[in-house]
Amino acid sequence: MSSLAQWLTAVWYGDRAPGLGLRALAALYGGVSGLRRAAYRRGWLRRERVGAPVLVVGNLTVGGSGKTPLVIALVEHLAQAGWSPGVVSRGYGRRSRGLVEVGVDTEPAAGGDEPVLIARRTGVLVVVAADRVAAARRAVALGCDIVIADDGLQHARLHRELEIEVVDAQRGYGNGRLLPAGPLREPPRAGIDLRVLHRSAVAGDGGDDEPAFVLAGDDLHAADGRREPLASWRRRRVHALAGIGHPRRFFERLRAAGLEVIEHPFTDHHAYVADNLHFAERLPIVMTEKDWVKCAALAPADSWYLPVQARCTPSLLARVDALLASRDLVPARIDAQQHRGRA
């Protein structure tokens, strides 16, 4: 992780107060972004519909909060309920331009690490574009009857039926200030349909009434298909590599399982080169699945990744279903059956 990123993290989430320059820039940023939000509220700028309901999953802070595993969980839940979901994303960190339809064989450089991960884990259509309206329209044109916008809370032009905000229970909103004096991309606001906590543990093993999820992963995977229980690595010394929004959470997960961890944090969406995976002390390398998407071709032989799933409280998915029902939103195939039944 760069020294600038470390310094900003200390300011945003630690005891270090932001200086006058950062506070002045934050005031400017807040004024400009506030005017833009007001323009959409008052109808001076128009939100655009795409022909299918849109569910936005995002966060108000910079960096990761566990959105991608939650998006995967929502995709799987909606598919089981009869929807044909698609996902749209900006594809941050990709080196391609324009609109890209991401599939299981798409390279991360073309589709972005998180969209490729979502496509490989779910098999659904993922479309990336800086213009999320165009991406969502492509997804609908290709047969999706509901669209999940990954990290789209600030993309106000895209009309949405539901907004889900993911909050890191460990770090919250940091010092509560706007960028760059704090981690907030916009102030906390009313009107969010559902706030979901990403916690280190779900009380009652998932029986909590508060919408929340915890990331759970039990097996380490290798490139050759081997799997080993994470618990069997207790007391093993490893190089742990994480280029995600909150690397420390991954390192703590490994330590909680009993591994002896040498930390190698990188910035979110880091573009890896081979030298990043070669260390003087020869030990197994353990990384996140998001990093593995980009590192599989670079990684030494004794390299492993830890897939995780969002284990949701029952109230989370029940609230999503209830919100969709309250807006009379049903899958296209069920809606067609209902229309035939009334004919």
pLDDT at 279 over 70: yes
Query: Mean per-residue pLDDT for 159-185?
Result: 95
For residue 180, is the peptide bond before it cis, meaning its omega torsion is within 30 degrees of 0?
Answer: yes
**Do 208 and 224 belong together in one domain?**
no
Q: DSSP class of residue 276?
A: G
Domain assignment present for 35 = no
**Do 117 and 177 belong together in one domain?**
yes
The two tokens of residue 153 are: 């809370």
First CA to last CA distance, the chain? 62
pLDDT at 140 over 70: yes
Total number of domains constituting the chain: 2
**Do 77 and 61 belong together in one domain?**
yes
Domain assignment present for 236 = yes
pLDDT at 266 over 90: yes
**Do 53 and 193 belong together in one domain?**
yes
**Do 299 and 255 belong together in one domain?**
yes
**Do 204 and 229 belong together in one domain?**
no
Domain assignment present for 12 = no
Domain assignment present for 69 = yes
Please give the C-alpha separations between residue 84 and each of 71, 115, 298, in angstroms, as whole numbers.
14, 17, 35
pTM: 0.93
Q: What is the pLDDT of residues 314-338, one digit of tens each?
A: 999 999 999 999 999 999 766 656 6
Domain assignment present for 31 = no
Strand order in the sheet with 85-89: 100-102, 126-128, 85-89, 146-150, 54-58, 162-168, 194-198, 212-216, 309-312
The two tokens of residue 164 are: 């889900």
Q: Which domain holds residue 297?
A: 218-307
Tell me the residue ranges of DSSP E strands in 156-250: 162-168, 194-198, 212-216, 219-222, 227-229, 237-242
Domain assignment present for 30 = no
Pairwise CA distance, residues 284 & 303, whole Å: 6
Find the CATH number of the domain harbouring 186: 3.40.50.300
Domain assignment present for 199 = yes
Residues 6+ apart with CB under 8 A from 154: 58, 185, 186
**Do 70 and 209 belong together in one domain?**
yes
- Looking at residue 209, its pLDDT comes to 77
**Do 61 and 204 belong together in one domain?**
yes
- Looking at residue 83, its pLDDT comes to 97
**Do 49 and 142 belong together in one domain?**
yes
pLDDT at 123 over 70: yes
Please give the C-alpha separations between residue 93 and each of 50, 97, 244, 290, 306, in angstroms, as whole numbers.
25, 11, 12, 12, 21
Pairwise CA distance, residues 214 & 319, whole Å: 17
**Do 99 and 172 belong together in one domain?**
yes
Residues 6+ apart with CB under 8 A from 25: 179, 180, 181
Closest by Cα among 264, 236, 235 to 251: 264
**Do 203 and 71 belong together in one domain?**
yes
**Do 260 and 303 belong together in one domain?**
yes
Domain assignment present for 19 = no
